[in-house]
Amino acid sequence: MNLVVKTHRPWKSKFIWGLILLVLIIGGWTLFDAGRHSAGYDSREADNEIQELMQTQAHLEKTITTLREDKAVLERAAQIERKAYNELDTTLKILQAEILEHKEELAFYRGIVSPKDSSSGLYLQNFFLSQNGATRNYRYKVVLTQVLKNSRLITGKVKLQFDGLLNGESKILELKDVAMNKVRDLNYRFKYFQNVEGVVGFPKGFSLLRVKIQILPRGSQRDMIEKTIEWNIEENKTHVGTEQET
């Protein structure tokens, strides 16, 4: 029996296999790059395009940030403008209300100083009827005046009558039927002017059409004043400016 002794070098085998693998990788990459190049792909050009795209992205992100900041500034400015507009609108409405109030006061005092009809001293200067919060409750106000040259004390009564429809049928309600304080008539006593007012509550299903007012001076039926005032549904209030004399 012949014995053969061989030297074992494992590192040499690994080195050879590693070298083969490296050659295959390099060869494969070379073939791959050659294929891309033959197909028109240039790695340097691609790198340049990537750099340009990254720069474009950075520029767009910066632009977006700037636009967001501009948007925030504009929104804040719009909020300030809206607030200023609302404040001005509120102030304008207050001033308009004050002007209207002053005009009404001026007309009121003109009626005392120089009334249209100087033959009589007693006048129905104004009558107001407006909703008083509750659905069927209304506040009324009768404004009576006397010209300044007639400084005598006058007394008398005011009668109110409310004409309308109750569940579709004609209905006349006296003040005592609807007054919240159950009064029958309204008394007045003044030299120059007086406001006679109160609250009425209409029954359910009642639609007001007109208000009839009688002013009865004590001891002088000749100076009695009668007015019929149509109810303005749209404005929800009425006054003697829309009156019809009876």
Is 63 within the bounds of a domain?
A: yes
Give the integer Cα–Cα distance in Å for 191 and 19: 128
Residues whose CB falls within 8 Å of the CB of residue 118, separated by 6 or more in sequence, listed in order: 147
Same structural domain for residues 109 and 134?
Answer: no
Confidence (pLDDT) at 117: 53
Same domain? For 106 and 126 the reply is: no
User: Is 30 among the domain residues?
Assistant: no
Environment class of 148 (CB within 10 Å of its CB; exposed 0-12, middle 13-18, buried 19+): middle
Q: Report the C-alpha dihedral over residues 165, 166, 172, 176, rounded to 10 degrees.
A: -140
Partners of 14 in beta bridges: none
Domain identity same for 138 and 190: yes
Domain co-membership, 142 together with 209: yes
H-run or E-run covering 19: helix 10-38
Alpha-carbon distances of 140 from 113, 159, 192, rounded to whole Å: 25, 12, 20
Q: Do 188 and 221 sit in the same domain of this protein?
A: yes
Residues 183, 225 within the same domain: yes
Among candidate residues 215, 207, 88, the one with its CA nearest the CA of residue 160: 215
Would residue 182 count as lying in a domain? yes
Q: What is the pLDDT of residue 213?
A: 92
161, 108: one domain = no
How many structural domains are present in the chain?
Answer: 2
Residue 31 lies in a domain: no
Q: What is the pLDDT of residue 164?
A: 92
The C-alpha angle 49, 53, 54, rounded to 5 degrees, equals: 120
In a domain, residue 33? The reply is no
The C-alpha atoms of residue 64 and residue 54 are separated, in whole angstroms, by: 15
Question: Which of 94, 114, 134 corresponds to the end of one domain?
Answer: 114
User: What pLDDT sits at residue 97?
Assistant: 84
Domain's final residue, options 99, 114, 129:
114
> Are residues 231 and 140 located together in one domain of the fold?
yes
**209 and 100 share one domain:** no
Q: Which residues pair with 227 in a beta bridge?
A: 213, 245
CATH number at residue 218: 2.60.40.150
Residue 28 lies in a domain: no
Strands 137-146 and 122-131 turn out to be: antiparallel
Residue 35 lies in a domain: no
**73 and 127: one domain?**
no
| Residue where a domain terminates, one of 114, 134, 167 | 114
Rounded CA gap, 151 and 175, in Å? 30
Q: Are residues 126 and 241 in the same domain?
A: yes
Range of the domain at 92: 51-114
pLDDT tens for the chain, 246 residues: list them.
Answer: 555 555 555 666 666 777 777 777 777 767 666 666 666 556 667 678 888 888 888 888 898 999 999 999 998 988 998 888 898 888 888 888 888 877 776 766 666 666 555 545 788 888 888 887 767 889 999 988 887 666 678 889 999 999 999 998 999 999 988 988 878 788 998 888 888 889 999 998 898 999 999 998 887 666 788 889 888 654 444 444 333 333
Q: Mapping DSSP to helix (H, G, I), strand (E, B) and coil, where does residue 117 land?
A: coil
Query: Alpha helix (H) ranges present in 39-159?
Result: 43-113
For the beta carbon of residue 75, count every other beta carbon within 10 angstroms.
10
How far apart CA 138 and CA 134 sit, in angstroms, is: 8
Angle at 224 between CA 220 and CA 226, to 5 degrees: 170
Q: Say yes or no: 226 and 195 in one domain.
A: yes
Whose structure tokens read 């403008």? 81
